[in-house]
Structure 1
């Protein structure tokens, strides 16, 4: 899971121009990111983390910080060893 967290941090850092932030810091409240970045985050979660984002989950609270993105992604991934049966 820490690799996933590092991947999320790297994505956010890249797209915020190297802005320093904590994992819990609300990225949108800082004013350094905008609604377009929210779309980029959703695409990142789907394409890079492999987690589909359904309409009911399109809530800015799910994607407002590194920690929230990580929590969302891990909560939507099947536990290791669990099949879809």
Structure 2
């Protein structure tokens, strides 16, 4: 999956929660006040299920989930990383 496809999926998911706001790829959803702790967990779950990834404790940094670009970057890094084993 390309970065563009990842960003489109992430943007589509976020758009369902922020109707009427044209969220830009680099907009900080935390500073905009759009995210509470429950939504943050939903976002992690979405990323895991949508992209077939496991989000590890070390991935749970706010900077990895701050924007569409940040989430897509996390997905790209996780997909590119060799599986631990």
TM-score normalised by the shorter chain: which range applies? 0.7 to 0.9
2:64 matched residue in structure 1: 62
Structure 2 counterpart of 1:72: 74
* 1:23 alignment partner in structure 2: 25
Verify the 8 A CA contact 1:16 1:33 in the aligned structure 2. no
1: CA distance between counterparts of 2:51 and 2:83?
18
SS of residue matched to 2:44: helix
RMSD of the alignment, in Å? Answer: 2.1
Ranges in structure 2 where 5+ consecutive residues have no aligned partner: none
Conserved? CA contact 1:38–1:60, under 8 Å? no
The gaps in structure 1 that reach 5 residues or longer are none
Partner of 2:12: 10
**Relative to total residues, which structure has the larger helix share, 1 or 2?**
2
